[in-house]
Amino acid sequence: MPSFRNARVILPDRVLPSAGITVEDARITAVGEGVRDGEDLGGKYLAPGFVDLHVHGGDGADLMDNTAEAFRTI
């Protein structure tokens, strides 16, 4: 279970100036100033990963073709 400490943790409503996180099964399970174990990030910023689901196509097809076949291919 990876964990990180001594980071500026970015939350939706604020930044914790010196906190940490614990991750289990690819999910954040603890956030806060009480996380003391793990890799020391030396005050660097720590934010959740963002996945961009924006696509225009795939596998040789393009949604801009506006066909059912293109949609099924993607």
Collapsing DSSP states into helix, strand and coil, what is residue 18? strand
Give the model confidence (pLDDT) of 5-60 as tens digits. 999 999 989 999 999 999 999 888 999 887 888 999 999 999 877 667 778 888 99
Greatest distance between any 2 Cα atoms in the chain: 54
| Number of domains into which the chain is organized | 1
- Domain housing 38: 3-73
pTM score over 0.75: no
